[in-house]
């Protein structure tokens, strides 16, 4: 299985219908992959946490079922996603005390059935 839990670069999730979005993080799960949306901590798990079922394959980009994951491109290679990521990065920089530390995020992922490394 690919070690996606340890990727620290921003990730893009592409749905089967071709829509793409930047995600906050992803964790391996016994049934596939648990992905958390940007600003997930301001929402509820049923809205901001998504379980993609299937086997995760690849070394980046990755595949799981009909979904694709890849690292966000830099230098304007993903202009349609740049605004999403810029808003997220600005939020993290201006509100560092409002976003949980990595250990707490991993614990939340465990409660949702993921197996963070």
| The pLDDT value given to residue 9 | 83
48-59 residue pLDDT tens: 999 999 999 998
| The pLDDT value given to residue 1 | 40
DSSP three-state, residue 59:
coil
HSE-CB at 78 with a 13 A cutoff on CA atoms is: 20
Ranges of the chain whose pLDDT falls below 50? 1
Q: What's the CA gap between 25 and 117, in Å, rounded?
A: 13
């Amino acid at each position: 299985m690919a070690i996606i839990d340890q990727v620290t670069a921003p990730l893009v999730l592409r749905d089967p219908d071709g829509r793409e979005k930047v995600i906050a993080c992803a964790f391996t799960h016994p049934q596939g992959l648990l992905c958390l949306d940007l600003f997930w901590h301001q929402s509820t798990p049923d809205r901001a946490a998504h379980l993609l079922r299937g086997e995760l394959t690849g070394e980046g980009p990755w595949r799981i079922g009909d979904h694709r994951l890849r690292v966000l491109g830099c230098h304007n290679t993903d202009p349609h996603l740049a605004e999403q990521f810029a808003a997220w990065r600005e939020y993290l920089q201006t509100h560092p005390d409002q976003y949980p530390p990595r250990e707490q995020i991993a614990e939340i992922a465990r409660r949702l059935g993921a197996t963070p490394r």
